[in-house]
Amino acid sequence: MDHFMDDLCSSLENHVQPFLPHDDAAPSNEAEHGFTFAELNSVRASASKIICCDFSSDGKLLVSGGHDKKAVLWHTDTLTPKATFEEHSLLVTDVRFSPSMSHIATSSFDRTIRVWSADNHGGMTQVRFQPRLGRYLAAAGENDVSIIDVETQTCRQTLKGTKPVNYVCWDPSGELLVTVREDSVRVWALGSGSIGNCVHELGSNHSKFHSCVFHPVYTSLVVIGCNQSLELWNMSENKTMVVAAHERIISSLAASSATGLIASASHDQMIKLWK
């Protein structure tokens, strides 16, 4: 038996050493310590199948996702959860940290991709690419909107607020961005600093704001979706006009520069076209 064990150990050593990479800069006695590869820690991360994971660039955080429709952010040193992202309706197919920022992207069988902040644990409620060039991505979080440079994957500007952002939209030129909160609509100009410059603001007098879009023909006109009505805001003259539109919240608006049409989608299960 002793002879058998000696042969087995010798065989393992002969197989392990050719497997290891050769590093000319390593000390000559490194091989004497042998090759080790062992489990350091573990955690039961889900009651369902886990199919994706990724480390942050500094290795301090780990994110996982799978069949339970969640993405979980973990502290690497303790494998304790830092945050859980639960907005997907079907299984999470992939999770990835951005290389140079504290953001996480998740994809799902529900046909959506979501961007999350690893700092404040909140999901990005809205993501909008800049029109025309598409170099910048506006990502709305809890109270702030980050303007992300897609090429460098860095945050160019932050549009700060005190209340949650319901909706964001760019103007057709890609130079202005509108943020919608329940009580206000703000128009921002992209400047050279790290904090955006608010150039127009409209407060709510009677109805909560939920969505917005620039008019496809009249560039100074913003159409705002409210609880049951559309509010047309002439920014240059700071005048508004209210139009009865739906029976419930107007959750989304879209504009077509090709046809001049505006579409409104509502919780009343209706889609309407306007011109």
CA–CA gap between residue 227 and residue 186 (Å, rounded): 18
Are residues 247 and 137 both part of a single domain?
Answer: yes
Query: In total, how many domains does the chain have?
Result: 2
What would the pLDDT profile of 217-274 be if each residue is shown by its tens digit?
898 999 999 999 999 999 999 999 999 999 999 988 888 888 888 999 899 889 988 9
Residue ranges making up the domain that contains 150: 124-275
pLDDT of residue 240: 92
Give the end of a domain, one of 94, 119, 144.
Answer: 119
Whether the predicted pLDDT of 16 surpasses 60 = no
DSSP 89: S
Are residues 249 and 156 both part of a single domain?
Answer: yes
Are residues 112 and 157 both part of a single domain?
Answer: no
Name the pTM for this structure.
0.63
Residue 4 backbone dihedrals phi, psi, to 5 degrees? -65, -45
pLDDT of residue 143: 78
Are residues 144 and 180 both part of a single domain?
Answer: yes
Are residues 97 and 129 both part of a single domain?
Answer: no
Number of H helices, E strands in the chain: 1, 22
Are residues 203 and 115 both part of a single domain?
Answer: no
What would the pLDDT profile of 180-199 be if each residue is shown by its tens digit?
999 999 999 877 666 778 89
**For residue 263, is it within any domain?**
yes
pLDDT of residue 27: 45
Residue 40 backbone dihedrals phi, psi, to 5 degrees? -100, -35
